[in-house]
Structure 1
Amino acid sequence: MKLSKVVAASAAVLALTATATACGSDNKDDSGSSGGGKIKVGIKYDQPGLGLKQPDGSFSGFDVDVATYVAKELGYKPSQIDFVETKSADRENALARGDVKFIAATYSITDERKQKVDFAGPYLLAHQDLLVKADSKIAKGTDLNGKKLCSVTGSTSAQNVQKTIAPKANLRQYSGYSECIAGLQSGAVDAVTTDDSILAGFAAQDKYKGQFKLVGLKLSNENYGVGIKKGDSALEKKINAALTKMVSDGSWDAAVKKNFGPANYKNEQAPKIGAIVK
Structure 2
Amino acid sequence: MTQASEPSPAQPATAETTPPRVTRARQVRLVGLTVTLAVLAAALIPIVLAFGPPTRDELLEQAGLKGRQQLLIGVKDDQPGISQRFPNNVWKGFDVDIAYMIAGYLGFDRSQVRFLPIESEDRARRQARDGDGFVTVDLVIASYSITKQREEEGAVFSAPYLYTEQSVITLDSVGEAEQVSSLEDLSGKTVCTLTTSTSAQRLREAGAKPIGRNRISDCVQMLYDGKVYAVTTDAAILAGFVTGDRPDDDGQRFPVELRGVKPLRHWDIGSSAQERWGVNTGSNGALRDLVDLALYASAEDEENSTWEHAYDANLRWQQRYNLPQSVAEQRQPEPRKVEVRQWPWERIALPAPAHPGSPPAPARRADRAAWRGRGRRSSGC
TM-score normalised to structure 2 length: 0.55
Structure with a larger share of its residues in helix: 1
2: CA distance, partners of 1:174 / 1:113: 18
Identity %: 32
Name the counterpart of 1:30.
65
Q: Is the 8 A contact 2:120 2:214 kept in 1?
A: no
After superposition, the CA RMSD in angstroms is 3.2
Look at both structures and tell me which one has the larger radius of gyration over its CA atoms. 2
Question: Which of 305, 308, 323 is the matching residue for 1:250?
Answer: 305
Q: Is the 8 A contact 1:37 1:80 kept in 2?
A: yes
Gaps of 5+ in 1: 1-28
Q: Is 2:275 the partner of 1:222?
A: yes
Name the counterpart of 1:273.
335
User: Bigger shift: 64-73 or 184-193?
Assistant: 184-193
1: CA distance, partners of 2:308 / 2:172: 25
Question: Which of 217, 220, 228 is the matching residue for 1:189?
Answer: 228
Gaps of 5+ in 2: 1-63, 128-133, 246-254, 338-374
- Runs of 4 or more, structure 1, over 6 Å off, are none
- 1:79 is displaced (CA, Å) by 0.5
- 1:183 is displaced (CA, Å) by 3.5
Q: Is the 8 A contact 1:51 1:105 kept in 2?
A: yes
Name the counterpart of 1:15.
none
Structure with a larger share of its residues in strand: 1
- 1:173 is displaced (CA, Å) by 4.7
CA deviations on 1:30-77 (whole Å, 9 max, x unpaired) are: 247xxx822111212232222222222111121111111110111111
Name the counterpart of 1:87.
119
Q: Is the 8 A contact 1:30 1:38 kept in 2?
A: no
Alpha-carbon spacing, 1:181–1:88, altered in 2? closer, same or farther (3 Å): closer
Q: Is the 8 A contact 1:151 1:177 kept in 2?
A: yes
2: CA distance, partners of 1:80 / 1:45: 19
Kindly tell me the number of residue pairs found equivalent between the two proteins: 242
CA deviations on 1:187-212 (whole Å, 9 max, x unpaired) are: 44332111222211322331569922
Q: Is the 8 A contact 2:155 2:280 kept in 1?
A: yes
1: CA distance, partners of 2:263 / 2:305: 29
TM-score normalised to structure 1 length: 0.73
Q: Is the 8 A contact 2:83 2:95 kept in 1?
A: yes
Question: Which of 100, 121, 145 is the matching residue for 1:108?
Answer: 145
